[in-house]
């Protein structure tokens, strides 16, 4: 297996791994833990999932009442955020052609 196909295979596997809301927030919330952190985290989760902040707030402070499907949405949002960070750093270029498909 070539190095490129090996990396693609790992990405395919990774996109199916669940990601808990707390793990997503640890990675993508830039506010310091403490006062206001939970509100920022809820808003970041709302943006990533397309759900309302009120819905996410109803999951509880540790998000233990979250639906199972959210774990996959958050993993995919995490991967997209990583791709975006690579592009912003100049390590990756997304062609205009790929945006039209």
- The tens place of each residue's pLDDT in the chain, 101 residues long, gives 566 566 667 777 887 899 999 999 999 998 877 779 999 999 999 999 999 999 999 999 899 999 999 999 999 999 999 999 998 888 888 877 766 65
Residue 95 has what pLDDT? 77
Residue 33 has what pLDDT? 74
User: How far apart, in whole angstroms, are the C-alpha atoms of residue 77 and residue 80?
Assistant: 5
In terms of phi and psi (left: phi > 0; alpha: psi -120 to 50; beta: otherwise), the region of 52 is: beta
Quick check: 29 and 44 in contact, CB under 8 A? yes
pTM of the model as a whole: 0.80
Residue 40: how many other CB atoms lie within 10 Å: 14
**What does the block give as tokens for 45?**
């989760």
């Amino acid at each position: 297996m070539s190095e490129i196909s090996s990396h693609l295979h790992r990405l395919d596997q990774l996109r199916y791994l669940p990601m808990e809301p707390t793990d997503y927030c640890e990675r993508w919330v830039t506010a310091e833990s403490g006062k206001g952190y939970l509100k920022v985290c809820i808003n970041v989760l709302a943006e990533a999932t397309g759900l309302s902040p009120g819905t996410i707030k109803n999951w509880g402070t540790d998000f233990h009442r979250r639906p199972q499907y959210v774990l996959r949405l958050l993993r995919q949002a995490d991967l997209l955020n990583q791709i975006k960070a690579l592009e912003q750093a100049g390590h990756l270029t997304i062609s205009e052609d790929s945006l039209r498909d």
